[in-house]
Amino acid sequence: MTAVLNFRLDGKKALVTGAARGLGKAIADGLAQSGATVYGTGRDSASATLISERYGTPPLLLDVTDIEATRRVVDSLMQASGGIDMLVNNAGVNVPRPAVQLTEEDWDTVFNTNLKGTFFLTTALARHWTEAGLSGAVVNIASQAGIVGIEERAAYGTSKAGLIHLTKILALEWAAAGIRVNAVAPTFVRTELTASTLSRPEWAAELLSRIPIGRFGEPEDIAGAVVFLLSDAASLITGHTLAIDGGYTIR
């Protein structure tokens, strides 16, 4: 008998960073709709409370750039929840400026969140998994800007390129432990993060002309791919970055 593909996440527990709005909210909603219990982080108490009320789990206040706080939150959550099975590293920032206008503070702001914070959060959780002999699955939210060059994305694109490579290295190191690590690389998606870019008519029209499918992404376009990569249907996939870009990176 042919096996039935299992895209469901019933009984699984997921941690999603930056789950209050935009991509994070859509991804968290998708995981919940697929049967997972969702724990989401917010950078302020209002966001953390909103997430808590939406998914019926305790509020998690976390700035991923605070490495010590990250470790404390992971340790506490692993104990209180009975174990987290999945991680979505969604929290991210962008400073869209021409390269010559970027300051050292801009660069550090982007890298501390998009790459450094993601690394230490992921390793904190993976340490629990490996010490307990548990399997796990991770999806990093990268970007097409980490695959191809895009104007005004020097810090952001470089951080996402680093995240794509980090995905490969962690997948390689942890495969034998039963931990899968993948990434998705979205095109421009209509969220708060891209509002300043897409509100510039001429620039938005130029970017849209580079997408063969002919539209920008919506948060739900990304959520489905993340659910798939975390599910058993993707059990043989690790170290991969899935471009969800309407064909932007074809050229």
Confidence class of residue 196 from pLDDT cuts 50, 70 and 90?
confident
59-94 confidence digits (pLDDT tens): 999 999 999 999 999 999 999 999 999 999 999 999
Q: Specify the DSSP element, H or E, that contains 180.
A: strand 179-186
DSSP, res 5: P
Q: Which residue in this structure is represented by tokens 């999945």? A: 86
- Distance from CA of residue 47 to its chain's centroid? 17
Q: Known catalytic residues?
A: 156
- Does residue 194 register a pLDDT over 60? yes
How confident is the model over 220-236, as a mean pLDDT? Answer: 98
Question: pTM for the full model?
Answer: 0.97
Q: Which residues pair with 88 in a beta bridge?
A: 16, 139
The answer to whether residues 110 and 95 touch, using CB atoms and an 8 Å cutoff, is: yes
- For the chain, which domains are there? 13-192+219-242 (3.40.50.720)
pLDDT top residue among 4 and 179: 179
Q: According to the model, what pLDDT value does residue 2 have?
A: 52
The answer to whether residues 38 and 19 touch, using CB atoms and an 8 Å cutoff, is: yes
5-17 confidence digits (pLDDT tens): 899 999 999 999 9
92-148 confidence digits (pLDDT tens): 999 999 999 999 999 999 999 999 999 999 999 999 999 999 999 999 999 999 999
17-60 confidence digits (pLDDT tens): 999 999 999 999 999 999 999 999 999 999 999 999 999 999 99
The answer to whether residues 31 and 23 touch, using CB atoms and an 8 Å cutoff, is: no
Q: According to the model, what pLDDT value does residue 79 have?
A: 96
